């Protein structure tokens, strides 16, 4: 890499949790620099946020339209290389489309858009422009998740038979959207978050993780979505039975009213010969189970890991790596891919291992199919895209 890639940010001002996470992740490897931003719909907050981040006045923009247009008019080497979109769900599509139209690569928060149709339009635009779009499904960035995926792909467990994935949280156990919690307010507003609450916010993470590790695709769902907290406008809990394209089955649980839980995402995958288990809150450990042998514990940072895990490990074994490092792995792989393309080189498979528009479409289809299934009297509904 001959220079740092230049990033512009849309959303993510001084009071936004996920914007700060993106900036930390992008900065971790020294490959990316924040160059400009339209950091809030409130121009005063946007300007103040830009000054806090030491952006020059002429690179702090009032709107994303102004930012993208003015950046596109700058000389090569001065303009941004890509834009990161960290706004609520309803404000993903328009800036992403405009960025691609003006020649900028895109990083975007999940879920990719508000609707499946918007996601399809984004994929078509990416294909037309040959630009790169990265979707930040954070959990696929963990080294031991990549180890799990590689072991499954190499046939260590034989054909996969069963997948159990659950993501319980407790932060919406009360009606906190009416108690001044800004994050809860937009995430429980259907006009801003989309058709589903719990399944759109965290169920998509669980579904992506199940498909990512197993290499399988969901083909049928049988869903039960619930509004548990009285007065809430959208589901805060749900259970989904799954069928996969190899004939195997699974269970997915996503709940934001599991009082006392933090971010307890966990997955179990079982094949003919054995299985694996991974917990997001203990991310450096992968438990591997065999039918006729003792269980094994794989740990991040060790030499016996596969190439994809090694590519995403940053420290020697025993030095914990967590959420920020996993997030940074996605940014690093995206940056290395962009740099390779800028130099007319082919990115390696390890570089290209980050979520993209295809994952985004699968995520939006998951939301729509689960909602339709929950509203249907049928036991199973086909997973349609």
Domain residues of the chain, as ranges?
A: 5-131, 141-316+362-375
This prediction has a pTM of 0.95
Q: Is the pLDDT of residue 15 over 90?
A: no
Does residue 52 surpass a pLDDT of 80?
Answer: yes
Helix (H, G, I), strand (E, B) or coil at 152: helix
Q: State mean pLDDT over 98-107.
A: 98
Confidence check: pLDDT of 208 > 90: yes
Mean pLDDT of 173-182: 94
pLDDT digits (tens, 9 = 90+) for 335-357: 999 999 999 999 999 999 999 99
Which of 3.40.640.10, 3.40.50.720, 3.40.50.2300, 3.30.565.10 would CATH assign to domain 5-131? 3.40.50.720
The pLDDT, as a whole number, for residue 169 is 98
Whole-number Å distance between alpha carbons of 32 and 3: 9
> With contact defined as beta carbons under 8 Å apart, do 107 and 9 qualify?
no
On the question of pLDDT at 28 being above 90, the answer is yes
Kind of pairing between the strands at 160-168 and 105-108: unpaired
- DSSP code for 347: P
Cα separation, 36 vs 48, whole angstroms: 13
The CATH number assigned to the domain with range 141-316+362-375 reads 3.30.360.10
Q: Name 133's bridge partners.
A: 106
CB 298 within 8 A of CB 195: no
Task: Give the E-state strand segments of 263-335 in sequence order.
Answer: 266-271, 274-279, 285-290, 296-299
State the chain's mean pLDDT as an integer.
Answer: 97
Both tokens of 29, joined, read: 């490897």
Q: What is the mean pLDDT of residues 238-246?
A: 98
Q: From the centroid of its chain, how far is CA 14?
A: 22
pLDDT of 355 reads 97
- Among candidate residues 224, 228, 235, 230, the one with its CA nearest the CA of residue 193: 235
The C-alpha atoms of residue 338 and residue 241 are separated, in whole angstroms, by 38
| pLDDT tens column, 251-300 | 999 999 999 999 999 999 999 999 999 999 999 999 999 999 999 999 99
Tell whether the torsion through CA atoms of 360, 365, 366 and 367 is positive or negative: positive
Q: Nearest CA to 186 among 109, 120, 95?
A: 109
Question: Which residues touch 136 (CB under 8 Å, ≥6 apart)?
Answer: 22, 107, 108, 109, 110, 327, 330, 355
Q: Which 3 state secondary structure label does DSSP give 281?
A: coil
Evaluate if residue 16 carries a pLDDT over 90. no
pLDDT at 3: 92
When pLDDT is averaged across residues 27-36 and rounded to a whole number, the result is 97
Q: What separation, in Å, do the N-terminal and C-terminal C-alpha atoms of the chain show?
A: 38
DSSP state of 203: I
196 pLDDT higher than 80: yes
Beta strands at 5-10 and 285-290: parallel, antiparallel or unpaired = unpaired
Question: What pLDDT, on the 0 to 100 scale, is given for residue 157?
Answer: 98
Please report, rounded to a whole number, the percentage of residues in the chain having pLDDT higher than 90.
98
Answer yes or no: is pLDDT of 1 > 80: no
């Amino acid at each position: 890499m001959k220079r740092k890639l230049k990033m512009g940010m849309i959303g993510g001002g001084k009071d936004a949790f996920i914007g700060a996470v993106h900036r930390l992740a992008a900065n971790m490897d020294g490959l990316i620099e924040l160059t400009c931003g339209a950091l809030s719909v409130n121009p005063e907050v946007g300007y103040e946020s830009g000054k806090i981040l030491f952006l020059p006045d002429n690179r702090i923009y009032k709107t994303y339209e102004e930012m993208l247009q003015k950046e596109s008019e700058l000389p090569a080497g001065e303009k941004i290389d890509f834009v990161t979109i960290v706004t609520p769900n309803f404000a993903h599509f328009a800036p992403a489309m405009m960025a691609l139209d003006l020649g900028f690569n895109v990083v975007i928060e999940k879920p990719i858009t508000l609707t499946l149709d918007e996601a399809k339009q984004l994929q078509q635009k990416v294909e037309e422009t040959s630009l790169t779009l990265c979707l930040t499904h954070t959990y696929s960035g963990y080294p031991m998740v990549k180890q799990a995926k590689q072991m499954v792909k190499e046939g260590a467990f034989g054909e996969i038979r069963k997948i159990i994935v659950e993501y319980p949280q407790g932060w919406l156990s009360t009606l906190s959207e009416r108690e001044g919690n800004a994050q809860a307010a937009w995430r429980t507003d259907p006009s801003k978050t989309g058709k589903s609450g719990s399944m759109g916010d965290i169920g998509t993470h669980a579904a992506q993780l199940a498909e990512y590790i197993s290499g399988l695709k969901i083909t049928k769902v049988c869903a039960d979505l619930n509004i548990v907290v009285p007065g809430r406008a959208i589901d805060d809990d749900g259970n989904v039975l799954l069928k996969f394209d190899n004939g195997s089955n699974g269970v997915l649980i996503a709940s934001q009213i599991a009082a006392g839980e933090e971010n307890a995402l966990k997955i179990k995958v079982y094949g003919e010969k054995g299985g694996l288990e991974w917990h997001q809150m203990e991310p450096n450990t992968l438990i591997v189970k065999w039918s006729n042998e003792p269980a094994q514990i794989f740990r991040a940072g060790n030499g016996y890991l596969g190439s994809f895990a090694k590519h995403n490990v940053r420290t020697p074994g025993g030095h914990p790596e967590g959420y920020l490092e996993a997030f940074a792995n996605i940014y690093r792989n995206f940056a290395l891919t962009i740099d390779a393309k800028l130099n007319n080189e082919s990115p390696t498979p390890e570089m290209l291992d980050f979520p993209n528009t295809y994952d985004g479409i699968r995520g939006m289809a998951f939301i729509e199919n689960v909602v339709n299934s929950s509203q249907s009297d049928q036991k199973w509904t086909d997973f349609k895209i």
